[in-house]
Structure 1
Amino acid sequence: MTAALAALVLLPAVGGAGLLVTGRRADRVAGPLALALTAGALVLAAVVAAARPRLSAPFLGIVDGGDLRLIVDGLSAVLVVLVAGIALLVTVFAVADLPADAARARFFGLVLLFVAAMLATVTAATLPALLLAWEVMGATSYALIGFRWDEPGKLAAGTRAFVTTRAGDLGLYVAAGAALAATGSLVLADLDAAEGGWADLAAAGVLVAALGKSAQLPFSAWLSAAMQGPSPVSALLHSATMVAAGGYLLIRMQPLLAATGWAATAAAWAGALTALVLGAVAVAQSDLKQLLAASTAAQLGFVVLAAGVGATAGGTAQLVAHAAVKAGLFVAAGAWLTALGTKQLAGLRGAARRYPGMGAAATVAALALAGVPPLSLWATKDEVLAGVEGTALTVVALAAAVLSAVYAGRILAVVLARPTGEEPLDEEEPGTHRIPLPSRAAAGILAVFAAGLGVLALPAVADALKAVLDAEGEPSPGLGDLLLSGALAVVALALTVAGSRARPGFAPALERSPLASWAGLGHLLSPRPALALARVLAAVDDRGIDRAVRGVGLAAHRIARLAARADDGGIDRAVAAVAGGTRRGAASAARGDSRVIDGAVRGLARAVRRAGSAARRPQTGLLHQYYAQAVAGLGVLLVLLLLVR
């Protein structure tokens, strides 16, 4: 099963890289290949979800957890199936929706790499593996949002999304450093073992990274810019992949948040306030994709809230249900954009009637988004709210849930209205653009899941999910809670639809309010202050620091020249003179040694040699000669004695 886990990530990654390298030559086969690989990924996801394998590849061997480790546990098992399933359905839609002359190999290559990165993210068990997947996901999302880079504003939108999320991503590196300092390990499961300030620093890093990726306050505005991307990209990013990754990370790191205390509270309030504020922003939108984008941040706010209050099962269920609902709505929005040429709500009046198949799927998804019983988000929101403690937080979360019904009602009031003028009511009639069957099928399957996941309201199903996630003991909503939230959703939805018909001028008034421009959040994190500061620092650098550095360099150069002259003119000559004198003295000593000492030694040696030769002559071996020598010697001695006396 280890091979299945490796293949789950590597097949789409290798396939995507191959398409990118091949380029336009692979445009014809790109769509079928992407379909085959995402279908294979779904099969492999089901296999690994059942088998729960683990995989490790060496990376940083000098530290515990430095390997690229992938593990499928209960949470990963749910997420890999979700990611692969949504990727397959969105790919089906993309094959049908993408223009024939588009760079399909580049598009599907990026999509496959993006999906591989998300699959690695939800199975990563160490920080190196998570960071690698996280970075690839961010880079490919930038390329996908700016896919039509030659059109004005597209590349800038991708850049804004990339820069904003990257600013938050730095938190993961801070968390990695804190984890290593506190525990000596880079294993994600060991993060909650950190103590004191290191634990606070790690929790803060994880929280910032997750809020940035999931477009939570104050990072929400990048999601508006991301709507410049192609419709399939919006459907993929906003459902089960990049925007959902932050919520997943907080659910995964919930023990760390709980260990610090303040981080859990901060996450809960960040999620609740995002659900409320971005819900109000969604209500004021006149562009369907912008409405869905704001509602994505709002709905994922409930996931972040769940991580903060410890309702991990409710947060996971919300993540899964929202993925099906939002993917279906983005598929419908993209299909209507292609067929009708507009994404403005005013231009989509009666779209569900003109295209009944897609209209039915979108209606079911919008009802689920509103939280209408017995559909999915009705059950999952209450699973989250069951874990909320405190009156203020509960009121904010309930108000955000009611707003869900309001912005869903705005969609339904427009697309279910009767078309104006002479527009045909049947997509089969001349003058209309048909929505391809694959797009309708993808939206229909997603609508089935958006409705069917309402079974999570059943205690037996909810308990089974908690058992899979090892979250037994987490609170569940009571029947009264379910009835109350369902009633609030139905009333809010009905009032919104009826109000849209009775007071048609109310929506335009909202669209002129500050909420329509995302409540000024774009200016809050605008790059202009940073650019102004950068210009000031550049001026200080050029006029002050740069000049000072150049001055120091010139002074050092002059000093070096003077030192070189002193060296050449004084020290060098002195050294040469000493060396010459030493050489001459050595030559004189060598001559004296050769002529005097050596001559004396040689003369003495010659004298000793002659004396030796003379001393050997008397040694003849003849006895009478020895007697004669003795007599001569005694005679000499006698003469000496006589002379001395």
Structure 2
Amino acid sequence: MTAQTAPAALAALVVLPALTGLALLLAGRRADRSAGPVAVVAAAVTVALAVVVATLRPRATAPFLGLVDGGELALAVDGLSAVLVVGVAVVAAAVMVFAVADTARSSARARFFGYLLLFTAAMLATVTATTLPTLLLAWEVMGATSYALIGFHWYQAGKVAAGTTAFLATRAGDLGLYVAAGAALAGTGSLELTSLATVPGGWRDVAAAGVLLAALGKSAQLPFSAWLSAAMEGPSAVSALLHSATMVAAGGYLLLRLEPLLEGWAGPAAAWIGALTAVVLGLVAAAQTDLKQLLAASTAAQIGFVVLAAGVGSVAGGTAQLLAHAAVKAGLFVIAGAWLTSLGTKKLSELRGAARRHRGVGAAVTVTALALAGVPPLSLWVTKDWAMAGAEGPLRLTALVAAALSAVYAGRVLAVVLAAPPGARDSEPGREPHGTGRIPVSVAVVAWVFALVTPALALLGVPAVAERLALAVGDTAHPPSLGELAVSGAIAVVTLAVVVSRPPVLAPLRHGRLAGWAGLRALLSPRPWLAVARGAATVDEQVIDRGVHAAGALALRMATVLRRADDTILDGAVGALAAGTRRGGDAMAAVDGRVIDAAVMAFGAEVRRLGGFMRRPQTGLLHQYYAQALLGLGVLLVVLLVR
């Protein structure tokens, strides 16, 4: 691969999965049998392309809005996107392998894998976009395909509603990205992504608010977090991809990409929202009785550290947290999906001893859950501390509480799945297992790939590796010191030990509001929004409509008065002026005809008469001219003599 062909590789990185996905969607049920292998091959090629473009760092453009600076569709790979394209491609490929084994053969597999590939292409376009039109296009495709994937089993009750909830919640935040684009265009005249950080004056605040809103919505941060709960209605492969390296990570990535825009009020706002999300959703995760709901809440909490990192300017720490969380959470969701298929349940109370029943997968879940807890020497132990390295005072304390809560909800999982399996006497009466009872080898392999990546990513804490990552993403912040890592590691180990050894300590949480996502679901319920709509309708009818009607009636009365004034005053004055002008014209015509014309005719007649008189002496006879000359001389002589 040369520098000349690198742009083609970058374009193919997005186009290949997109076209393959479209082809599968158009083929429909006829391609169900081959859809899985085709998707896996496309994902594998995408991984190879991701490695190539991450190495060569190319740029590719295509015309789109030609009259605007930055209006083209443009992709480029720099240090930040190089790290993420590889992460996204690898996670997507692993999830494709899992999905082949996890998706029922009777399902519409071509449609499912088609949407998965389109979703992957949208995320790859998001992390490489350099113009706002490219980002907005990828952002929209990601939202649309996530709706289709969450509601994939549309014929089952609640699936479409769950997809709609997730779609509308994220769309509410997505509007901020359009506001930011408008602010960039108004402030700089450019739609380049980098122009957002140079928007002047008040437009900069508008752009920062819009980007922050869009990122919080996509990454399920407060107050948008509850859409993740609804998204758990989707297939397990969708949850694994959605909540690891793609859609939920996209908002955090956007804030890291546009970190210079957050200077001012937006930085502290993002930092506090991320820290509070990590605490609140950490408590929500600890209170869940459903494994997928616990993992969903923990996803919002862990991405909260990324948002915190962007707010305090720790771009390298946020990037490391994105990568480490992607591996951990993808592995946990794959295992949760495997248990759902093999054991027929996702309830924690029914997963007791699950890790002992399937020891291979059980070892993998143990490693990934320990990493989620922040236990040394695994990846999230390092990356969480690096993400909050720039936090100080109360913000730092809040982040440490959130880190301790990571050990609480991870310990909750381990306490259940590592417990002794219930005997026949302990099992629920009347309940029969309805799973397949087995976990495919390919699924176990995928789970172990993520489990092995987890300790490997702990190398991000090694100074030499950390420096290279910081240099790649253009960050000057230093990774956490050994003292800071020791404190957070000790907190994680102690907390985890308490939770695993004393599971009943968390029992009160399961009976409070935290189990219902701390009331956040009510924000997505149609009832409050219908109440708002009714209030708005009342205001519209009672205030705005009446005001408009009153203004219209007043305008009509004023128009009537003005019409009467026009008829009686203006029209009368115009008519009188016209009549006076006409009479003046008639008088002038009379004077012209009777006086001026008569004088001119009289003068002309007199001139004509005098001319005739003057013509008489002109006889043409010479002797008469002599006589006339002598007469004239005589007259002159008399005049001279008289004088």
TM-score bin (small chain): 0.7 to 0.9
Indicate yes or no: 2:467 matched with 1:463.
yes
Q: Distance in 1 between matches of 2:23 and 2:184?
A: 36
Tell me if 1:302 matches 2:305: yes
2:43 to 32, 38, 44: 38
Q: Deviations over 1:374-409 (max 9, x none)?
A: 000001111122221x31001000000000001000
Q: Name the CA distance, whole Å, in 2 between partners of 1:18 and 1:193.
A: 41
Alpha-carbon spacing, 1:548–1:378, altered in 2? closer, same or farther (3 Å): closer
Aligned to 2:605: none
**What does residue 358 of structure 1 align with?**
361
DSSP 3-state at the match of 2:60 = strand
* Deviations 1:6-33 (CA, angstroms, capped at 9, x unpaired): 1110011001011111111110010000
Contact 1:371 / 1:486 at 8 angstroms: preserved in 2? yes
Match of 1:418 among 404, 420, 434: 420
Aligned residue type for 1:522: R
Partners of 2:381 and 2:132 lie apart in 1 by: 35
Q: 1:585: which partner in 2?
A: none
| Pairing 1:134–2:134 present | no
Secondary structure of the structure 2 residue equivalent to 1:228 = coil
Match of 1:236 in 2: 241
Task: Say if 1:431 and 1:232 are closer, same or farther in 2 by CA, change over 3 A.
Answer: closer
Deviation at 1:523, TM superposition (A): 1.1
The offset of 1:541, in angstroms, is 7.4
The aligned runs of 1:283-302 (5 Å cut-off) are: 283-302=286-305
Q: How far 1:506 sits from its partner (Å)? A: 4.0
How high is the TM-score relative to the length of structure 1? 0.81
| Residue among 417, 435, 439 paired with 2:439 | 435
Q: 1:177 aligns with which of 174, 179, 182?
A: 182
Match of 2:77 in 1: 72
1:507 & 1:470 partners in 2: Cα distance? 42
Which whole-Å CA distance do the structure 1 matches of 2:178 and 2:382 have between them? 36
432 and 55 in structure 1: CA distance in 2 versus 1, 3 angstrom threshold:
closer
Out of 388, 392, 395, the residue aligned to residue 385 of structure 1 is 388
Counterpart position of 1:531: 530
Tell me what 2:148 maps to. Answer: 143
- What is the match of residue 571 of structure 2? none
Query: What amino acid maps onto 2:206 in structure 1?
Result: L
Deviations 1:324-351 (A, max 9, x none): 0000000000000000111000000000
Which amino acid in the other structure matches residue 461 of structure 2? Answer: A
Separation in 2 of the partners of 1:289 and 1:187? 39
Which residue of the partner structure matches residue 445 of structure 1?
Answer: 449
**Cα distance change of structure 1 residues 403 and 539 upon mapping to structure 2, 3 Å threshold:** closer
Tell me, in whole angstroms, the C-alpha distance in 2 between the residues paired with 1:346 and 1:509. Answer: 15
CA distance, structure 2, for counterparts of residue 255 and residue 527 of structure 1: 37
1:418 positional shift: 0.7
1:98-150 CA distance string (max 9 Å, x none): 11111100100000000000000000000000000000000000010000111
Counterpart of 2:277 in structure 1 is 274
Deviation at 1:548, TM superposition (A): 12
Deviates more, 1:539-548 or 1:122-131: 539-548
Residues 314, 417 of structure 1: alpha-carbon distance in 2 compared, 3 angstrom cutoff:
same
SS in 2 for 1:56: strand
Distance 1:376 1:545, change over 3 A: closer
Contact 2:344-2:435 within 8 A present in 1 as well: no
The AA in structure 1 aligned to 2:172 is A
Once superposed, what is the RMSD of the aligned Cα atoms?
2.2
Distance 1:234 1:407 in 2: 18
Deviates more, 1:475-484 or 1:302-311: 475-484
Separation in 2 of the partners of 1:138 and 1:431? 32
| 1:104-503 matches, cutoff 5 A | 104-258=109-263, 261-388=264-391, 390-422=392-424, 433-471=437-475, 473-500=476-503
Distance 1:362 1:459, change over 3 A: same
Pair 332,431 (structure 1): closer, same or farther in 2 beyond 3 Å: closer
Q: CA deviation at 1:423?
A: 9.8
Aligned pair count reads 540
Deviation at 1:524, TM superposition (A): 3.0
Within-5 A mapping of 1:49-88: 49-88=54-93
Unaligned runs of 5+ in 1: 425-429, 554-645
Give the Cα–Cα distance (whole angstroms) in 1 for the partners of residues 435 and 527 of structure 2: 47
Matches within 5 A, 1:594-613: none
Instruction: Give how far 1:68 is off.
Output: 0.6
Separation (CA, whole Å) in 1 of partners of 2:410 and 2:536:
47
Structure 2 stretches lacking a partner, 5+ long: 1-5, 427-433, 553-643
1:537-552 equivalences under 5 Å are none
Question: Do the aligned residues in 2 keep the contact of 1:49 with 1:78 (CA within 8 Å)?
Answer: yes
Judge conservation of contact 2:342–2:435 (CA < 8 Å) in 1: no
- Identify the residue that residue 597 of structure 2 maps to in structure 1: none
Contact 1:387 1:476 in 2 (8 A): no
C-alpha separation in 2, matches of 1:205 and 1:354: 49
1:462 and 1:96 map into 2 onto residues whose CA distance is: 37
Q: CA deviation at 1:549?
A: 11
Measure how far apart 1:509 and its partner are.
2.6
> How many angstroms apart in 2 are the aligned matches of 1:255 and 1:239?
25
- Measured in 1, the distance between the counterparts of 2:218 and 2:436 equals 39
Cα separation, partners in 2 of 1:77 and 1:540, compared to 1, 3 Å: same
Alpha-carbon separation, structure 2, partners of 1:525 and 1:181: 33
Cα deviation for residue 475 of structure 1 reads 2.2
| Cα distance between partner residues in 2 of 1:456 and 1:535 | 53
Q: Which runs of 4+ in 1 moved over 4 A?
A: 535-550
User: Cα deviation per residue 1:37-75 (whole Å; 9 max; x = unaligned)?
Assistant: 000100000000001000111111111000111010111
The C-alpha deviation readout for 1:84-109, integer Å capped at 9, x for no partner, is 00000001000001111111001000
Q: Distance in 1 between matches of 2:316 and 2:53?
A: 20
What amino acid does structure 2 have at the position aligned with 1:136?
Answer: V
Supply the AA of the counterpart residue of 1:530. Answer: W
Q: TM-score scaled to structure 2, two decimals?
A: 0.81
Query: What is the letter of the counterpart of residue 399 of structure 2?
Result: A
The secondary structure found in structure 2 opposite 1:419 is coil
TM-fit CA distance, 1:525: 4.1
In structure 2, the partner of 1:511 is 510
Sequence identity (%)? 68
CA distances 1:271-318 after superposition (whole Å, capped 9, x unpaired):
000001100110000000000000000000000000000000000000
Q: What letter corresponds to residue 343 of structure 1 in structure 2?
A: K
User: What whole-Å deviation, never above 9, does each CA across 1:488-540 have from its counterpart, x for those lacking one?
Assistant: 1100100110111xxxx444432111100000011134332322343465678
Cα distance in 2 for partners of 1:431, 1:83 equals 31
How far, CA to CA, are the matches of 2:114 and 2:547 in structure 1?
50
Q: Does structure 2 conserve the Cα–Cα contact (< 8 Å) formed by 1:368 and 1:377?
A: yes
Contact 1:353 1:415 (8 Å CA) reproduced: yes
Report if aligned partners of 2:404, 2:495 keep a CA contact under 8 Å in 1.
yes
The one-letter code of the counterpart of 2:339 is W
In structure 1, the residue matched to 2:521 is 522
Contact 2:220 2:226 survives alignment (8 Å): yes
1:213 maps to a residue whose letter is K
Does the CA-based 8 Å contact 2:173-2:218 persist in structure 1?
yes
Equivalent position SS for 1:69: strand
